[in-house]
A and B are shown apart, each in its own frame.
Chain A
Amino acid sequence: MLGYLITFLIFLKEKTPEVVKKKSGYLLIFPSIVSIGVMFIGLMYLVYLSFQTYDVLQRFIPALTLENYYKTILTPGPQTTFFRTFYLSLLASFTSIILAIPYAYYTVRAPSSLIQKLLIISILFPFFTGDVIKAYGWLAALGRSGILGWFTEKLFGSSVSLINTPTAVFIGLVQLLLPLSVLIVAPSIAAVNRELEMAAQNLGATPFQTFIKVVLPLIKPGVLGSFIVSFTIAVTEYAAPDLLGGGINKFVANFIYMIMFNAVNYPYAAASSIFLTLIISLIVYLILKVGKIGNIFIRGVR
């Protein structure tokens, strides 16, 4: 049976025109196109839903309205949620990049392979646990009866809790983003020719000056790419704001969840989702444009 199959495949290869053979590589991107296509159809359905009218018993009725966008954009509550989401996501992404660069640099330039392996394992370890587990870990640490509470009790006589605060959400986000940022930035640093750094130092530059004037410009595409990935993950995050924010530091994803599942208002949830997607797309576009790295994925420009 296997023999027949192999014979058939050989026959097929021989009879396939040369032009088709050259283009056959494109078949490999077919699954991605299907995946994106399905997502696009879903997105179009959301667009359709976002203009429908809410009804408590029928969930929505096909009567076109702009009310859902009006409520999403102009109501103070959702406005605050959008502002909080973008503000904390930008801050957390920026912080994680700032922390990731020295970590990645030291990992790449580690003096021994043992230290390098330890650093790599340390950064990979958080991937073995999910977002919810990580958030629960912080819940235990930052609560009144956690490590922070115990420490402040001993130090100041009264326990402090960071649970249900924006600070707790920020900490949770940074922990989530830091390993990703390191993994994305590290290859950029590895690609920097070590001799360039040595040359700069031979010409009198301090290690800090070398990093700022030589390394950083060279790794800029990696840094911006890492920032974009971190930001898009943070801005759509659900678990950390939900568990560490205590329901009063919601992100847009939490707001959409509540509107969709608790209020069963599908059109309003769809409008909020579409608006979020548009804003994220705009911000990513601006980063690519300002950072002049729009063609990085096409030409492999470094």
Chain B
Amino acid sequence: MKNHPEKIRKYTRREALSTAGKIAISAITAGVIGGIGGYYAGSTTAVPSVKTETIERVKTVTITETVGRTSTIPPKPDKLIVRAWGGGWQYALDEAVSKTFTKKTGIKVEYDNTEDSELQAKLVELIPADKTPPVDVNWTISTNAYLESAWGLAADMLPDEVPNIEDMLLQAKPPPIQGYRGYPFVNVYSYTYVLGYLTKYFPEPPDSWWVLWEPQYEKSVAMYDDGIGFHAVLAKLAGLKIPEELSPEKMEAAWDLLRRLLPNIGGLGEDPDLSMWLIREEMKLEVTIITNILEAVRHGAKAAWTVPKEGVEMHTDAMYVPRNLPPEREYWAKQYINTALDPEVQGKWAELLGCPPLHPKAPIPEYMEGDPAFPVKEEYIEKMIVIPLDILVKYEKDWFTKFEEITAGIA
């Protein structure tokens, strides 16, 4: 299936909202996503070294317990600092979430574009030393959020403080983690790592991931510098069982495929690089998140995406409030996350990002329907390669290391 972003330009949120049946469709599709969520978030017992005793979540709590004062609403800080990816990611967050939050509260939002992994290293040093973290809200990938929560870096979010959490789909809610009565983080949307391409080289979309290995695309393939979104695809192409055979020692056949791909890899980078290479036509094929293709298209690139027949990896991103913030900042940071989970905001954010929302009442952008890159229908879910969060947390860093070791050998 060919997915031309020109189609997206014609779409407006107003059109979506004007359709009375939209909410109903959203509810149905969201229910489907919820099905995945059950699978995705359901496995909670395999992470090593983490105690997995049953933890019951607190349903209600008074605000006094959290903010340490008896007033119901703490004083507002001048601003909140949110860690965000740059480019189209920050744009979408700002337009959909931050502007709504500022309009509602009067609190300005600033962004810290420190890479999520760099911030992780800082938080690991600062928070155990009882220092104040540099950001009020950390927007990061779910595996990082899980690890950082397991390390005790996240503040507990109780349903009374962030009421929208309770309404979110199961996929949005992390498994219980030792030391938290509520939620240490919340997944805010899902997304897929699709096969992006320049339409001038592919009048018809490639139907298989094997196109990446074709000799005419020497130095023309790009992906993330840690290979995120591609490890399980490699495993699947190598004939490995997912998720049973994703442990590093069983992945050798997948790594051999990666070694064979090295002559065709022309770029390994982050989100802005992936967008820029499409805009400048430096790369013909990319393994990327749709957001980066949308960003490239906004800047004039003739690019599109497709879901190859072997399927695409589906992941989620998360938000959490780091521990050790002053009580008033912690409170308002949680309100920021609550705003991000609001159904209307979720719909707008999803539309701009190209990532399906995780609130069942959020309007699903029109362009997502009919496109298997967005897991909003049952038949599309079969196209997804879904790796349980515990498996991701357990093995992802090893995959990153292996990917780095192999791609460092590109001559």
Chain A contact residues, CB within 8 Å of chain B = 55-59, 71, 75-81, 143-145, 161, 163-164, 246-250, 255, 258-265, 268
Contacts and interface: CB of A to CB of B under 8 A. Distances in A.
B404 A161 contact: no
Interface in B82-123: 115, 117-118, 120-121
Interface in B111-155: 115, 117-118, 120-121, 124, 147, 150-151
Given A161-B282, A261-B115, A248 B400 contact: no
Given A55-B49, A59-B124, A262 B225 contact: yes
| Most central of B281, B397, B398, B408 by chain A CB within 10 Å | B408
B227 to A, nearest CB: 10
A56 B48 contact: yes
B338 interface: no
Contact of B282 (A58, A71, A143, A258): A143
Contacts of A258: 225-226, 400, 404
A246 B223 CA distance: 11
A265 B117 CA distance: 12
26 contacts: A55-B49, A56-B393, A57-B147, A58-B49, A78-B408, A80-B411, A81-B408, A143-B280, A144-B282, A163-B282, A164-B219, A246-B269, A246-B277, A246-B282, A247-B267, A247-B268, A247-B273, A247-B407, A248-B265, A248-B266, A248-B267, A261-B115, A262-B226, A264-B120, A264-B147, A265-B397
B405 interface: yes
B408 A80 contact: yes
Contacts of B410: 80, 248-249
A77 B400 CA distance: 13
B229 to A, nearest CB: 13
B50 interface: yes
Interface of B: 47-50, 115, 117-118, 120-121, 124, 147, 150-151, 219, 222, 225-226, 265-269, 273, 277, 280-282, 393-394, 397-398, 400-401, 404-411
B270 to A, nearest CB: 9
Given A77-B406, A164-B219, A262 B400 contact: yes
Q: What 10 A-B pairs are tightest by C-beta distance, nearest first? A: A247-B268, A77-B408, A77-B409, A261-B117, A77-B405, A263-B400, A263-B401, A246-B267, A262-B226, A81-B408
Contacts of B397: 56, 263-265
Contacts of A145: 280-281
B269 to A, nearest CB: 5
Given A144-B281, A246-B273, A263-B226, A57 B47 contact: yes
A80 B267 contact: no
A265 B403 CA distance: 13
Nearest to B399: A263
Contacts of A262: 117, 225-226, 400, 404
A246 to B, nearest CB: 4
A84 B367 CA distance: 45
Contacts of A80: 408-411
A145 B222 CA distance: 18
A264 B117 contact: yes
B121 to A, nearest CB: 6
Contacts of B411: 80
Nearest to A161: B282
A194 to B, nearest CB: 49
Given A77-B408, A246-B269, 20 more contacts: A56-B147, A57-B48, A57-B50, A59-B124, A77-B405, A81-B409, A143-B282, A145-B281, A246-B268, A246-B277, A248-B407, A258-B225, A258-B226, A261-B115, A261-B118, A261-B121, A262-B117, A264-B117, A264-B147, A265-B397
B115 A77 contact: no
Contacts of A78: 405, 408
Nearest to B144: A264
A264 B147 CA distance: 11
B63 to A, nearest CB: 32
B11 to A, nearest CB: 29
A261 B144 CA distance: 11
A75 B405 contact: yes
Contacts of A264: 117, 120-121, 147, 397
Contacts of B406: 77
Contacts of B267: 164, 246-248
A259 B404 contact: yes
Contacts of B409: 76-77, 79-81
Contacts of A260: 121
Contacts of A56: 48, 147, 393-394, 397-398
Contacts of B219: 164
A36 to B, nearest CB: 23
A255 B403 CA distance: 11
B115 A250 contact: no
Contacts of B401: 259, 263, 265, 268
Nearest to B279: A145
A250 B117 contact: no
A58 B49 CA distance: 8
A143 B15 CA distance: 40
B280 A144 contact: yes
A78 B267 CA distance: 18
A57 B411 CA distance: 33
B152 to A, nearest CB: 11
Nearest to B266: A164
A260 B406 CA distance: 16
A40 to B, nearest CB: 20
Nearest to B228: A262
A140 B406 CA distance: 29
Nearest to A140: B280
Nearest to A81: B408
